[in-house]
Amino acid sequence: MGEQRPLRILLIDDNPRDRVLAARELRRTFTDAQIIEIIDAVGLAEAVAMDDFDVVVTDYQLHWGDGMAVLAAVKTRRSDCPVIMFTASGSQELAVAAMQSGLDDYVVKSSQHFVRLPIAVERALERMEQRRVATRLDAERNALLIRSQEAERRATFLAEASALLTASLDYQITLGHLAELVVGSLADWCLIDMLDEDGELDRLAVAHHDPACAGLAARLRNYPPHWFRTENPIGEALRDRRSVRLDAISPEQIEASALDPEHLQLLRELRPHTAVLVPLLARERVLGIITLVLSAPERAYGPQDVQLAEALAHRAALAIDNARLYKTEQQVRRQAERTAARLSRLQLVATALAGAVTVDEVAAVVIEQGVAAVEANAGSLVLFDQHSGQLEVIRAVGYSDEVLRRWQRFPLSAGTPLSDAVRERRMVLLSNEEERTQRYPHLHGERAINKANAWAAIPLLAGGQAVGGLCLNFGSARAFSAEERTFMDTLAQQCAQAIVRARLYSAEQTARAASGAASDRAAFLAEATALLTSSLEYDTTLEHLARLAVPRLADWCIIDVQEPDGALHPMAIAHLQPERVALVQELRLRYPLDTLPEHPVARVIQTGQTLISPEDPTAPLALRGVDAGHTALLETLEVRSQMVVPLIARGVTLGALSFVSAQHDRYGPDELALAEELARRAELALDNARLYRAAQQAIQIRDQFLSIASHELKTPLTSIFGNVQLLQRRLTREGAVGERDTRTLRAVVEQTDRLRKLVDALLDISRLQAGQLSVARDLVDLGVLVRQVVAEYQPTLEQHTLTCQTPASSLLVRGDALRLEQVLHNLLQNAVKYSPQGGPVHVRAEVRNGYARVHVSDEGIGIPTAALSRIFQRFYRAANADTRHISGMGVGLYVVSEIIALHGGEVSVESTEGRGSTFTISLPLID
């Protein structure tokens, strides 16, 4: 600057001559200098006030003052401005005193000394320049020193802050540390507000450097700022992501930021004077804001403070972000661990449920595993009963007995979380007591509920229907996470499915048991039917029936049968212990039913209605007895319960079936049904046996009659036949009768012969029936017998040609010649009779395999195939014999087969209807 403008020299001297001299000398050296000449006090004051000079040259002796006064005036204004004084010669002391007061140099005022003036000025200026440089350097050094000290202080602070901020990974603790750190150095008090997930600010830390005010400041926690208000500086800092400094905060500003009068009062007491609001930024996200406040008016935030606050905020934001990330990571890890644990728990539950077959087992698995898995302190499982509309607890843990008793059953409309969950088929979750009080005020004071602080009620849904519910109680309040809700829901639904499965299983078991019982019954009845139809004998059937009842239906069984005259007789008895049958017999013998009209058997026979005793415990005679003996006998026979079923066939009461047991109340509807089924089958079998017996009796009477009749008829008929033959022969010989009488006589002989044969046949039948037909065991030559019979028979035939073929050797058999002759006659007669058109009849005898065989063949009507197996039965006649009106009784072949059988031989037939028949008899040959 000195180079740019000319040197300005203030020359103060009130002697004009000296001034000229001095100026001339100065100009000699400083050619461009401006010399301002001052001649009086006013000029000096103006010049000093103008302050536009570089050096001052003053005379000591001034008529309006002296050089000392000028020196003082200049130095006061400009301490660094050089001042050079003219002094009178010889006043050295004066000059020294002036130098002590700041004078730079002096020049003795004389003509020869004037030349020294420019040198003095030059030197003074040089000294001044040196001083200036030194001062500047000093200042610069000082400034540097201060700056480095400040930087060091800040670095230390930030290092300390970093250490403190990273000391903990707990985000809340970190914030506390930050606040404490700040109030020690950067602020009188501070606030830290963090943005939550919803973008709202939470005041998480407040600190004040004065412990006396800490309580006051702490109350600011209740006033998190509404930062989104545009006029709010916090909002400005957050939105613009930059620091905002508030200098000299006015009462109006305080008022504007207060949320309510109390807040305002608080703020006024805390006296914010200057503040800086620094956003906390990390990974380009705004995490929150830190507010630093100074209350003392003498302090204020400068740019460096703001910078420091920002550096601190930057570190704090990173630390918070780290802490948050760590927390999130921890949470995620814990969540993952919990999820894994729950999944494995669900797996366990599923496995355990697969093995649970009853509803109770299912409930046990779900409650035990479920309660542990969600860390509940109590749990219960209820099932919904559709009929009663009630919920019933089937499994519970963690409740007192008293609570369990009171809540064992409750209606769907009970208005509890569990009943609501089942009714509305949705989960009911109560995270804390407040929620519970709000939603279930009426349950206040309910102990089952009060023991917990959070509740979950989950419906058990199967096919859209709620089969019941699961209730879980938690010791502490909790927000149910989505994962937790899913877990509980899955648990409940697994449980519901298992319950449905268990119910199906139990239904199937019941059905299986029922079908087992049914097939048992069916097997028993089938066995009964087989046994009852195995005999047509009435008594045997009754015996079978009584035996069937024991032990399946009774310890002992008795069948009382009603005779046509109404009398009742015990016909069959069976006892588990056979030796006791005699006791039962004694019972009926000593106390006959006819004398006990009130006896259950008598009543059943009378009414035809089934009866179970005891129908009332005091009454039944059969169990009580009519006298002491009766009672004792009943006691011995252990008659405790009894069932009597009537046997009725085609409207007729045949009798009654009594089942007796030593067991009390043995008989119920099932036994009764089975007994009745048995009775129905027995009735059929008994009816058949009865009919069979009647038929047998009828047949017996008929046979008896036939036997008697044929015996009685035989003798007179034989006599009549003999005499008629005699008469015929005699009259024929004598020729005494005419043609007509001869024919009549022949007819009489023929009819008598037929009658005789008929009677013979009947007699044979009755003998066979009675087992009285016997055959002789003589030697008979069958060949001779055949030839003899054929020879006798041949002359009587007109339409038929009878041929005979016998071996030359004899056919010796052992037998009854008369009976064998009867057999041959019979076969020949049939061959002729059943060839009504005539034709050949051929008889052939032969030996085959040690048997003598005789075949009698005809070419007559033959025998229908269906009749072949039956023609040897008594009274059987083939249909074609009847349609052709060939008379006969169906007896001949029966007698033939019986006679041959008595000879140890066989008779057989081969025939084709319309073609003819061949009958063959085989008799064992004698070796």
Looking at beta carbons only, is 174 or 830 nearer to ligand ADP? 830
State the nearest-atom distance from the C-beta of 858 to ligand ADP, in Å. Answer: 5
Looking at beta carbons only, is 643 or 900 nearer to ligand ADP? 900
CB 209 within 8 A of CB 239: no
State the nearest-atom distance from the C-beta of 686 to ligand ADP, in Å. Answer: 36
Determine the Cα–Cα distance for residues 9 and 54; give it in Å rounded to an integer.
Answer: 6
Contacts of 126 (CB under 8 A, 6+ apart): none
Determine the Cα–Cα distance for residues 806 and 786; give it in Å rounded to an integer.
Answer: 8
Looking at beta carbons only, is 470 or 871 nearer to ligand ADP? 871
Looking at beta carbons only, is 486 or 873 nearer to ligand ADP? 873
Token pair recorded at residue 391: 């919920």
Q: What is the largest CA-CA distance in the chain?
A: 249
Nearest to 490, CA basis, from 678, 350, 671: 350
Looking at beta carbons only, is 8 or 855 nearer to ligand ADP? 855
- How many alpha carbons fall within 13 Å on the CB side of residue 98? 25
Looking at beta carbons only, is 103 or 863 nearer to ligand ADP? 863
Long-range contacts of 254-258 (CB under 8 A, 24+ apart): 256/231, 257/225, 257/232, 257/233
State the nearest-atom distance from the C-beta of 922 to ligand ADP, in Å. Answer: 18
State the nearest-atom distance from the C-beta of 892 to ligand ADP, in Å. Answer: 3
- The sign of the torsion formed by the CA atoms of 549, 550, 553, 557 equals positive
State the nearest-atom distance from the C-beta of 856 to ligand ADP, in Å. Answer: 8
Coil, helix or strand at residue 469: strand
Looking at beta carbons only, is 110 or 873 nearer to ligand ADP? 873
Question: Which residues, listed in sequence order, are joined to residue 410 by a DSSP beta bridge?
Answer: 391
Report the residue number whose CB is nearest to ligand ADP. 888
Contacts of 170 (CB under 8 A, 6+ apart): 323, 327
Helices 261-270 and 211-218 meet at what angle, rounded to 10?
160
Q: What is the b/e burial string over 167-206, where b = at least 16 CB atoms within 10 angstroms of the residue's CB?
A: ebbebeebbbbbbebbbebbbbbbbbbbbeeeeebebbbb
State the nearest-atom distance from the C-beta of 549 to ligand ADP, in Å. Answer: 48
Looking at beta carbons only, is 816 or 859 nearer to ligand ADP? 859
Question: Which residues, listed in sequence order, are joined to residue 11 by a DSSP beta bridge?
Answer: 37, 57
Per the listing, tokens 């017999």 go with 585
Looking at beta carbons only, is 687 or 858 nearer to ligand ADP? 858
State the nearest-atom distance from the C-beta of 919 to ligand ADP, in Å. Answer: 7
- C-alpha distances out from residue 391 to 447, 463, 555, Å: 19, 19, 46
DSSP 818: H
Preceding omega of 261 cis (within 30 degrees of 0):
no
- How many alpha carbons fall within 13 Å on the CB side of residue 832? 18
Looking at beta carbons only, is 683 or 858 nearer to ligand ADP? 858
State the nearest-atom distance from the C-beta of 649 to ligand ADP, in Å. Answer: 37
Tell me how many degrees the CA angle 467-470-474 measures, rounded to the nearest 5. Answer: 170
Provide Rg for the chain, Cα atoms. Answer: 74
State the nearest-atom distance from the C-beta of 811 to ligand ADP, in Å. Answer: 22
State the nearest-atom distance from the C-beta of 831 to ligand ADP, in Å. Answer: 5
- How many alpha carbons fall within 13 Å on the CB side of residue 855? 15
State the nearest-atom distance from the C-beta of 756 to ligand ADP, in Å. Answer: 15
Looking at beta carbons only, is 602 or 895 nearer to ligand ADP? 895
Per the listing, tokens 């005379």 go with 59
Looking at beta carbons only, is 36 or 868 nearer to ligand ADP? 868
- What does residue 30 show for φ and ψ, rounded to 5 degrees? -105, 85
Looking at beta carbons only, is 111 or 887 nearer to ligand ADP? 887
Nearest to 8, CA basis, from 69, 60, 50, 66: 50
Contact positions vs ligand ADP (CB under 6 A) = 830-831, 834, 858, 860-863, 871, 877-878, 881, 888-894, 917
Looking at beta carbons only, is 890 or 924 nearer to ligand ADP? 890
State the nearest-atom distance from the C-beta of 889 to ligand ADP, in Å. Answer: 5
State the nearest-atom distance from the C-beta of 877 to ligand ADP, in Å. Answer: 3
Determine the Cα–Cα distance for residues 838 and 570; give it in Å rounded to an integer.
Answer: 65
Nearest to 179, CA basis, from 151, 203, 155: 203
* Phi and psi based region of residue 339 (left: phi greater than 0; alpha: psi -120 to 50; beta: remaining): alpha
State the nearest-atom distance from the C-beta of 863 to ligand ADP, in Å. Answer: 5
